[in-house]
Amino acid sequence: MLETEGAQEDGVAERKLRDRYARMQQQSAMEEQKKAVLRNYLTPEAYERVMNVRIANSEVYDQLVSSIAYLVQSGRMQGAKITEEQIIKLLSKMTAKRETSIEFKHK
């Protein structure tokens, strides 16, 4: 009976490993697709900038890629490639912090 429980546990662990490996392969394939699309629509300098953002902050990278995809799909690019200056402007808009102010009301 102990042998069957051990075999079941091995099967569960093996299945979990296969699932995790499959997810990792899927994520890797999606990342490669993103990179291929970015290479098509960005200048080499802009692509390098986006890859640096990917290394520095993955959340900002995901937002940036979504914004680029929206621009491309909406037809705003009209065959022109996105430049590094445009990427910098997009990044500054995305990461701009709102100025907070504190007002004191005197009685």
Instruction: Report yes or no on 20 lying in a domain.
Output: yes
The predicted structure's pLDDT at residue 51: 93
Entry pTM:
0.68
Instruction: Report yes or no on 92 lying in a domain.
Output: no
**pLDDT range class, residue 99, cuts 50, 70, 90:** confident
The predicted structure's pLDDT at residue 10: 79
Please say if the pLDDT value at position 95 is more than 70.
yes
Distance separating alpha carbons of residues 34 and 104, to the nearest angstrom = 49
Instruction: Report yes or no on 105 lying in a domain.
Output: no
> DSSP secondary-structure letter at 75?
T
What is the total count of domains within the chain?
1
Backbone φ/ψ region at 2: left (φ over 0), alpha (ψ -120 to 50), beta: alpha
Give the type of residue at 29. A
The predicted structure's pLDDT at residue 6: 64
**Higher-scoring residue by pLDDT: 61, 79:** 61
69 in Cβ contact with 35 (< 8 Å): no
**Higher-scoring residue by pLDDT: 95, 25:** 25
- Which structural domain range is residue 50 located in? 2-73+81-87
Instruction: Report yes or no on 11 lying in a domain.
Output: yes
Instruction: Report yes or no on 8 lying in a domain.
Output: yes
User: pLDDT, tens digit, for every residue of 1-54?
Assistant: 545 666 677 788 899 999 999 999 998 898 888 888 889 899 999 999 999 999
Cα torsion 73, 77, 83, 86 to 10°: value is -80
> 66 in helix, strand or coil?
helix
Distance separating alpha carbons of residues 49 and 39, to the nearest angstrom = 12
